[in-house]
Amino acid sequence: MNRTSRLSNVLFTFLGAAAVGLVIGVLAIAGVFDAGERVVVREAPQSSSTPVSQPRAAANSVSDIYAKTAPGVAFVEAQGTGGNGGTGSGFLFDGQGHVVTNEHVVEAGNRYTVRFGENGDPLPATLVGEDKSSDLAVLEVDPKKVSGETKPLELASSGDLRPGDAAIAIGSPFGLSGTVTTGIISALNRDITSPNGFPISGVLQTDAAINPGNSGGPLLDAQGRVIGVNSQIASGSAQQNSGVGFAIPVDTVKDVVPQLLDGGTIKRAYLGVSTGPAQSGDGAVVMSITQGGPAAGTDLRAGDRILDVAGRAIKDPSDLSSAVLEHKPGERVKLTVERNGDQRTIDVLLGTRPDQSVQG
């Protein structure tokens, strides 16, 4: 199976260099397309006929944020063999020339170039590391070739966000580098599917316009700090923005990127079950148990409702994913489950998450 075909799964066909997937309508990676689109925003004229002096723009106006951060936002091109490849976005992470983008963007090729700003020169880049489970990757360019006005973007904390907070996206939708769109944080703690089929939890939902080509670009707050990495959109068959976009939270970036820079392989705990929401009340209902997985050798059964993992209450399947990831492979945890109205405790030795999700 080649690299491109591995991106497909039952919920998504990743668009990092090609295409569309389905979730609540259609979920598509905000990845790669070349097309023409431009949005021009103008201030409405003053309604009064009396001349009025214009106030200075607020310190944190969108135009100020754009001027400050856009030089650090990158247009990323991935070139593969046989003419395959695609484009996406990214941003400068530090002063050593490291650029954060989406894994599904780099997956499209084996040679890369990065261009900062609208008028920067394409710089050759090397792939430092990639993590399919979080859809994050790091490229590296020669820092000596990066313009002095190109500064690393400041990182905020996604844990401090609330629905309704401002959200600003900068990237290269349809190859149009330097495009800025605005909106709000529409919701927190969404789940989306990663390139290897596992859920990504804690995802930010925004109505800031995100389209194919925005993948890997930053989602910013009202201070111009990175709060997420734009990754997927909910779309109809037109494969374009419908007001529902998703960004990997910056707290995940803070966890994953340093490990990639250290050259380490990221190992995550693995339970080996697929779950769905309970029809009533809290918990995650076991839909299937992966053959040969950690849970397969226990008393856990399909239909069990998992209520607690190692003392952490489970409200829904997203909680279960997060709870398992709080532990390390090889740790033993106790699950509290409900079966036929009775509660019982099941002991599980967590394994290591495989490279690709396996169902059943």
**Residue at a domain's end among 215, 239, 266:** 266
Q: For the chain, how many helices (H) and strands (E)?
A: 4, 21
Phi/psi at 160 (5° precision) = -90, 0
Provide the pLDDT for residue 9: 34
Phi/psi at 35 (5° precision) = -160, 170
Cα separation, 201 vs 9, whole angstroms: 17
For 42-54, write each residue's pLDDT tens digit. Answer: 233 333 333 444 4
Whether 256 is covered by a domain: the verdict is yes
For 227-250, write each residue's pLDDT tens digit. Answer: 999 999 986 655 666 789 999 999
pTM over 0.85: no
**Residue at a domain's end among 266, 289, 308:** 266
1 and 21 share one domain? yes
139 and 219 share one domain? yes
For 212-228, write each residue's pLDDT tens digit. Answer: 999 999 999 999 999 99
End-to-end CA, the chain: 20
For 5-40, write each residue's pLDDT tens digit. Answer: 333 332 333 333 333 332 333 344 444 433 322 222
Of residues 220 and 81, the one with the higher pLDDT is 220
For 302-339, write each residue's pLDDT tens digit. Answer: 999 999 999 999 999 989 999 999 999 999 999 999 99
Provide the pLDDT for residue 83: 75
pLDDT at 135 over 80: yes
∠ Cα 2 4 7 (to 5°)? 110
In the predicted model, what is the mean pLDDT of the chain? 84
Phi/psi at 61 (5° precision) = -65, 160
- Give the residue ranges of DSSP H helices in 70-148: 103-106
Provide the pLDDT for residue 82: 78
Q: Are residues 359 and 304 in contact, defined by beta-carbon separation less than 8 angstroms?
A: no
Whether 237 is covered by a domain: the verdict is yes
201 and 252 share one domain? yes
pLDDT bucket at 118, cuts 50 / 70 / 90? confident
236 and 197 share one domain? yes
Amino acid identity at 16 = G
CB-based contacts of 209, cutoff 8 Å, min separation 6: 39, 169, 173, 181, 183, 241, 243, 245
Residue numbers of the domain that contains 119: 1-31+60-266
Q: What is the dihedral of CA 138, 143, 149, 152, to 10 degrees?
A: 30
pLDDT bucket at 358, cuts 50 / 70 / 90? confident
298 and 151 share one domain? no
Give 171's strand partners: 179
**Residue at a domain's end among 266, 283, 304:** 266
CB-based contacts of 55, cutoff 8 Å, min separation 6: none
The tally of domains found in the chain comes to 2
CB-based contacts of 187, cutoff 8 Å, min separation 6: 163, 204, 205
pLDDT at 136 over 80: yes
Pairing of the two strands 226-234 and 218-220: antiparallel
Whether 358 is covered by a domain: the verdict is no
Contacts 24+ apart (CB under 8 A), 254-259: 254/155, 256/131, 256/134, 256/136, 257/93, 257/98, 257/100, 257/136, 257/138, 259/129, 259/131
Residues assigned a catalytic role:
104, 135, 215
Residue with tokens 């993948």: 215
∠ Cα 154 123 180 (to 5°)? 45
Cα separation, 131 vs 355, whole angstroms: 10
pLDDT at 360 over 50: no
pLDDT at 180 over 60: yes
Whether 45 is covered by a domain: the verdict is no
Whether 47 is covered by a domain: the verdict is no
Check which CATH number belongs to the domain holding 337 and give it: 2.30.42.10
Q: Judging by beta carbons within 10 Å of its beta carbon (0-12, 13-18, 19+), is residue 8 exposed, middle or buried?
A: middle
| Nearest residue to 347 via CA among 304, 297, 312 | 297
For 317-326, write each residue's pLDDT tens digit. Answer: 989 999 999 9
**What are the structure tokens assigned to 116, written together?**
């900062």
Cα separation, 117 vs 51, whole angstroms: 37
